[in-house]
C-alpha cells in the first residue's frame, strides 16, 4: 500500500488530523488542492494573512501590466517572472504525472504557461479589470491550467507559512526533525527516511478535492446564471447553454473572447465567484472518495485475501495471468461481496472513475505484498492506468485501465487501444465496471474485440464486472419496529469495538422467531430518504451502516436460505 505521511513520521492519521494536518501520500499525489476561498477564511494561526499575501502577488502582476505596452517589454517580463512557479513536490497534492521522483516534470507553471498567463492578464487589464481574484479563475480561461496548478502557485507563495505550520505540528507531536534552510531562515521539519526529502504539512481545512476538469461548466467553481451571458453564448456560438454545460462544446478561448468583449459580464463573473460560500470539505463522509479508498483497500484486502500462493516466481510468461487473477478477484468483490456499495457516496451518487482506479490500485498492491509477489505497482494517473511490472531483472509489464461503463469515451478509447496495441510496451487489460445498463457500450466493446480477433490482431484483455447495486450488494435490512433497534445498535457497536453484527449466531429457534416477528425484505440503497433518516437519528453515515451490512451479507444470505428451506419464509414472495 502507498505510504502516508503518518507512516513515515511514526504517528497515526488521527494524531496528525487532531493537529489540523492533512495526511498526504508519499508515493502518489492526493487529489486535493488549496481552495482560495478556504484559505481566505482559515483559522490556522500561521496562515493568518496568507491569502492577502497571495492577493498582493497577483496585484503586483496586474500593476506591472498596466504599464506594459507590448508583449516582451520590460514590464511584461517583470510580470511574467512573478508567474513562474516550480511545483512543491513534497506536499503531495494534485494530479501527479507519475512517481514522486518525476513530479517536477509535469507540474508547476513553466515559461510557456507563464507567458500564456501574462498575455491573458494583460488583455484583462486592458478592459479595466484589476481585481487579483481573476487569477483564481484563470483555469476557466486558459487551456492547460487546472486547479492543481493554481494550488501550486498558492503553495509557492505561502511556503513560509506552510513551513511554520509544519514546524509547529512537528513540535506538538514530538516528531524527529532536521533543519531546512529556506531564504535565509532555518525550519525544523521531518524528512522522508530514504530519499531525505522534506515533508511539508498542509492544513486540511484549506483543501478540497480537485474537480475532474477546471472549466467554465464546473458549477462547483463558480455558478453563473447570468441571462445575458446565456443569450450571448446562444447567439454567438449557436448552441444552447445546456449543450455548453453538458457537452463542453465551448472552448476556453471562445469564452475568454466573449468575456473580454463585455466588461459587465466579467464583473458579474467575479461578483458571483466572490459570493461563493467557503464550505469546508466533508472528510467524514468523503463524497469524492479521495481518502476512503485507502482504508477500504486495507480492510478488504485483509478480509477477502486473493490466494496467489501457487505462484512462486513472477516471470514474463505468467505476469499477465497474475494480473488477470487479481482483476477477477476485484470483480468478485464487486459482484458478490458488496464492494460495489462503496462506489457510491452517502447521497447515492456514483463516485468518480478515478476513485475506483485508486481502490483497485490499493487492493492490487496489498495482494501483491501479501503473497510476496515480485511485482511493483505504479499509478500512471496522467494516462489513467495502473502499471504492474516485475521488480527486478525483467522489463515485462501489464497496464490495467479501470473504466466505468458510463464513460462516454470508453468505446473510442478501447478502439484506439486496439489500433496501437502492437507497439505498446507491455500488455493491457481493460477492467470495465458496469455502473449503468450500458447495453450499447458493452455490446460495442465486445464487438470491437471479436472483430479484431477475427482479423488476427492482438487485443487488450476485456474484463467486465457488474458494479451496480442489487439486493445482495446493497445488504439486507430487517424492517425495524418501534421497539427493535437491534440493527442500528449492532452497527454502532461493531463500528466502535470491531464487533460482528446481528446475524453471526443463529439457530432454528431464532430463525423461526425472526421470520414470525419481522417482515423481512431486501432494502435498496436507492431509498436514500430512509438511509438519511437513520444517519441523522443514530449518528452513522450511510457508508458506515452499509459497510457493517455488507460484512454480514454472506451470513444473512445463509439465514435466508435456511428460512426458505424450513418453509419459514419464501424469498420469491419478497416484494
For residue range 185-199, list pLDDT tens digits in order: 999 999 988 778 889
Q: Between residues 25 and 430, which one has the greater pLDDT?
A: 430
Q: Between residues 518 and 90, which one has the greater pLDDT?
A: 90
Q: Are 221 and 108 part of one and the same domain? A: yes
Q: Are 191 and 110 part of one and the same domain? A: yes
Q: Are 177 and 262 part of one and the same domain? A: yes
pLDDT value of residue 575: 35
281, part of any domain: no
Name the pTM for this structure.
0.74
Q: Which of 466, 500, 517 is at the close of a domain?
A: 466
284, part of any domain: no
Indicate if the pLDDT at residue 85 is higher than 50. Answer: yes
pLDDT digit string, tens, across residues 404-441: 999 999 999 999 989 887 656 678 999 999 998 899 99
Task: Record the cell numbers describing residue 225, joined without a space.
Answer: 446564471
Q: Are 197 and 334 part of one and the same domain? A: no
Q: Which of 466, 487, 520 is at the close of a domain?
A: 466
279, part of any domain: no
Which residue, 133, 118, 134, is CA-closest to 81? 118
Which residues are CB-neighbours of 22 under 8 A, at least 6 positions away? 16, 30, 32, 201, 202, 203, 204, 207
Residue 486 — pLDDT band, cuts 50, 70, 90? very low
- Alpha carbon distance 157, 375 (integer Å): 40
280, part of any domain: no
Indicate if the pLDDT at residue 297 is higher than 90. Answer: yes
- Alpha carbon distance 145, 118 (integer Å): 13
Q: Are 269 and 313 part of one and the same domain? A: no
Residue 331 belongs to domain spanning: 292-466
287, part of any domain: no
Pairing of strands 397-404, 427-434: parallel
Q: Between residues 325 and 261, which one has the greater pLDDT?
A: 325
- Alpha carbon distance 489, 316 (integer Å): 51
Task: Record the cell numbers describing residue 298, joined without a space.
Answer: 486495507
286, part of any domain: no
Q: Are 297 and 445 part of one and the same domain? A: yes
Q: Are 245 and 165 part of one and the same domain? A: yes
Q: Are 452 and 339 part of one and the same domain? A: yes
pLDDT value of residue 266: 84
Q: Are 462 and 480 part of one and the same domain? A: no
pLDDT value of residue 491: 40
Residue 470 — pLDDT band, cuts 50, 70, 90? low
- Alpha carbon distance 300, 362 (integer Å): 10
Which residues are CB-neighbours of 542 under 8 A, at least 6 positions away? 285, 346, 348, 525, 528, 531, 532, 534, 535
Our count of domains for the chain comes to 3
Q: Which of 466, 494, 515 is at the close of a domain?
A: 466
95, part of any domain: yes
pLDDT value of residue 526: 38
116, part of any domain: yes
Residue 397: CA atoms inside 13 Å, Cβ hemisphere, count?
A: 18
Residue 296 — pLDDT band, cuts 50, 70, 90? very high
pLDDT digit string, tens, across residues 48-73: 999 999 999 999 999 999 999 999 99
Q: Are 80 and 99 part of one and the same domain? A: yes
- Alpha carbon distance 170, 174 (integer Å): 6
Residue 536 — pLDDT band, cuts 50, 70, 90? low
Q: What is the mean pLDDT of residues 329-354?
A: 87
Q: Are 443 and 546 part of one and the same domain? A: no
Q: Are 173 and 209 part of one and the same domain? A: yes
Beta bridge partners of 476: 522
- Alpha carbon distance 493, 189 (integer Å): 39
- Alpha carbon distance 499, 493 (integer Å): 6
Residue keyed to cell 419496529:
481
Amino acid at each position: 500500500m502507498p505510504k502516508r505521511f503518518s507512516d513515515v513520521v511514526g504517528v497515526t492519521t488521527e494524531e496528525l488530523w487532531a493537529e489540523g494536518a492533512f495526511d498526504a501520500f508519499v508515493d502518489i499525489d492526493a487529489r486535493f488542492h488549496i481552495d482560495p476561498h478556504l484559505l481566505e477564511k482559515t483559522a490556522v494561526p500561521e496562515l493568518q494573512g496568507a491569502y492577502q499575501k497571495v492577493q498582493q502577488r497577483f496585484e503586483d502582476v496586474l500593476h506591472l501590466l498596466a504599464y506594459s505596452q507590448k508583449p516582451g517589454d520590460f514590464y511584461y517580463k517583470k510580470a511574467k517572472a512573478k508567474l513562474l512557479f516550480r511545483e512543491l513536490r513534497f506536499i503531495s497534492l494534485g494530479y501527479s504525472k507519475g512517481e514522486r521522483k518525476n513530479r517536477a516534470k509535469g507540474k508547476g507553471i513553466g515559461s510557456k504557461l507563464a507567458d500564456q498567463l501574462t498575455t491573458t492578464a494583460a488583455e484583462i487589464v486592458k478592459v479595466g479589470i484589476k481585481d487579483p481574484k481573476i487569477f483564481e479563475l484563470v483555469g476557466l480561461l486558459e487551456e492547460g491550467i487546472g486547479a492543481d496548478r493554481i494550488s501550486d502557485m498558492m503553495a509557492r507563495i505561502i511556503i513560509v507559512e506552510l513551513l511554520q505550520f509544519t514546524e509547529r505540528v512537528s513540535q506538538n507531536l514530538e516528531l524527529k526533525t532536521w533543519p531546512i534552510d529556506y531564504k535565509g531562515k532555518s525550519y525544523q521539519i521531518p524528512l522522508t527516511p530514504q530519499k531525505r526529502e522534506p515533508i511539508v504539512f498542509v492544513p486540511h481545512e484549506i483543501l478540497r478535492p480537485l474537480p475532474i476538469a477546471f472549466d467554465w461548466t464546473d458549477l462547483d467553481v463558480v455558478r453563473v446564471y447570468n441571462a445575458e451571458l446565456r443569450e450571448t453564448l446562444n447567439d454567438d456560438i449557436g448552441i444552447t447553454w445546456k449543450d455548453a454545460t453538458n457537452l463542453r462544446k465551448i472552448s476556453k478561448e471562445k469564452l475568454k473572447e466573449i468575456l473580454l468583449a463585455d466588461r459587465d459580464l466579467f464583473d458579474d463573473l467575479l461578483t458571483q465567484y466572490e459570493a461563493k460560500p467557503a464550505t469546508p470539505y466533508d472528510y467524514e463522509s468523503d463524497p469524492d472518495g479521495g481518502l476512503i479508498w485507502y482504508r477500504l483497500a486495507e480492510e478488504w484486502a485483509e478480509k477477502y485475501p486473493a490466494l496467489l500462493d501457487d505462484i512462486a516466481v513472477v516471470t514474463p510468461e505468467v505476469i499477465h495471468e497474475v494480473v488477470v487473477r487479481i482483476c477477477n478477484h476485484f470483480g468478485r468483490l464487486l459482484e458478490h461481496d458488496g464492494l460495489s456499495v462503496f462506489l457510491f457516496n452517502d447521497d447515492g451518487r456514483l463516485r468518480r472513475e478515478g476513485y475506483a482506479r485508486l481502490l483497485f490500485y490499493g487492493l492490487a498492491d496489498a495482494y501483491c505484498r501479501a503473497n510476496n509477489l515480485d511485482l511493483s505497482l505504479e499509478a500512471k494517473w496522467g494516462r489513467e492506468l495502473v502499471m504492474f511490472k516485475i521488480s527486478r531483472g525483467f522489463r515485462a509489464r501489464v497496464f490495467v485501465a479501470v473504466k466505468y461503463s458510463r464513460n462516454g469515451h470508453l468505446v473510442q478509447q478501447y478502439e484506439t487501444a486496439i489500433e496501437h496495441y502492437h507497439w505498446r510496451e507491455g500488455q493491457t487489460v481493460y477492467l470495465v465496471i458496469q455502473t449503468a445498463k450500458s447495453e450499447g457500450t458493452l455490446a460495442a466493446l465486445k464487438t470491437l474485440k471479436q472483430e479484431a480477433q477475427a482479423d488476427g490482431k492482438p487485443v487488450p484483455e476485456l474484463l467486465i464486472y457488474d458494479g451496480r447495486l442489487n439486493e445482495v450488494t446493497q445488504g439486507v435490512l430487517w424492517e425495524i419496529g418501534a421497539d427493535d433497534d437491534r440493527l442500528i445498535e449492532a452497527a454502532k457497536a461493531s463500528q466502535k469495538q470491531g464487533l460482528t453484527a446481528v446475524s453471526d449466531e443463529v439457530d432454528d429457534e431464532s430463525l423461526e422467531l425472526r421470520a414470525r416477528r419481522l417482515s423481512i425484505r431486501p432494502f435498496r440503497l436507492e431509498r436514500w430518504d430512509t438511509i438519511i433518516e437513520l444517519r441523522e437519528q443514530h449518528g452513522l453515515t450511510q457508508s458506515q451502516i452499509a459497510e457493517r451490512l455488507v460484512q454480514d451479507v454472506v451470513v444473512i444470505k445463509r439465514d435466508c436460505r435456511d428460512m426458505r428451506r424450513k418453509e419459514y419464509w419464501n424469498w420469491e414472495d419478497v416484494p
